[in-house]
Structure 1
């Protein structure tokens, strides 16, 4: 299969992941764990979003960072378009910014580590990309300092026990949301090594890679 065709397929996969995540983020995870209400911390979108890093890393491995950036931009366009349609502009701006910056960081780190142990590039890239993505999204969406982008969500800014149960530490609600979301992303950064490892021998680099 030609590179252009493969990049189109990767772009469609990325767009699908982003679209699915933007839809599933509207549905909280129901259940209780050690007295913590998961619905107050997690949505199903947190479980699909890490697939974006897998698609990004597979593209980067096979075709290099230039192709990976094209795939990320495709996901960015779909994500921003849906976010502006389905949510307020502040959330859309936060979503697009976090996705683009987090994915580009993943590309950069992956490219620098690609010749080391097979697991280092995808793991380090997705870990730091996920951290930056989470910090940017929740900060821009809810932190009071970003009120110039759009109105503050007073409920998100309300002070509450961490994760709703740890009364010894009270934080704005959005901080608990961010930590819950990040926890899932970090776990899935490890889980995604399984499909990456399974596919890496099949999706071999097509040519020497340049930044």
Structure 2
């Protein structure tokens, strides 16, 4: 039984996609506490600007945005071959495991720290390792709630927009459904996380929420468009791996046009 499952190409593909999806989401959450300057990363001078009456803005972004665009690319690929139910399932798995991870982070922060360990990095400029550990892994509850809620809602939006576009275009215009769904869902994601984490959690003004939302979204928008060739590359590689007939049946089943026939098991 296990050998048959492991030799079934669609099954192996789904396991790989799910593993990457969950790992990518968890890593993005873990590194999200760091802020970086996009201008400095690109070797450009930092310029501040005003948006919605909020001054002093620049492209200072959370490190999590380095990975989240890949999450939406993966969503579109899973959506293309396995359908919305599969996207929902791996999204629920990701959210459950992220929540579990943060519970374990809290447990690890709460256990008594060894006195030698606390001062072991003092010469490297870290006088208290316990404080540093808690600062890295201890995100505020509003941020965690906002991030998980935004992730779930944006995934549902991405799936819905993707399939509405595909029903109109069929198998043509991959770029339109992939990029279009990502552009819409990332706007939703950017707004919800800021609204919950900082409007509700820290009483930010609406103008500040909207200004920072648009700064973050402009980065995500450009990246979503820029990653469009990656969608075509991944789809081409998946089609070759599955075989044309199997890929065609899976895409049809993902749209609910026909039941997915049992795939031929190989020993490749």
Measured against the shorter chain, the TM-score band is 0.7 to 0.9
Equivalent residue in structure 2 for 1:14, among 11, 17, 21:
21
Which residue pairs with 1:111 in the alignment? Answer: 163
Alignment of 1:21-40 (within 5 A): 21-30=28-37, 31=40, 32-35=45-48
Shift of 1:140: 0.8
Deviation of 1:26 (Å): 1.6
Structure 1 residue aligned with 2:108: none
Give runs of aligned pairs for residues 188-203 of structure 1, distance below 5 A. 188-203=223-238
- Length-normalised TM-score, structure 1: 0.78
Q: Does 1:44 align with 2:63?
A: yes
CA separation of 1:181 and 1:201: change in aligned 2, threshold 3 A: same
Aligned CA RMSD, in angstroms, stands at 2.4
For the residue of structure 1 that corresponds to 2:33, the secondary structure is coil
Partner residue in 1 for 2:112: none
C-alpha change, 1:193 and 1:35, in structure 2 (3 Å) is same
What is aligned with 1:179? 214
Greater C-alpha Rg: 2
User: Paired residues, what number?
Assistant: 190
The secondary structure found in structure 1 opposite 2:185 is helix
Change (3 A) 1:21 1:39: farther
Larger helix proportion of the pair? 2
Q: How many Å apart are 1:107 and its aligned residue?
A: 1.0
Unpaired runs of 5+ in structure 2? 1-7, 50-55, 106-137, 240-246, 257-268
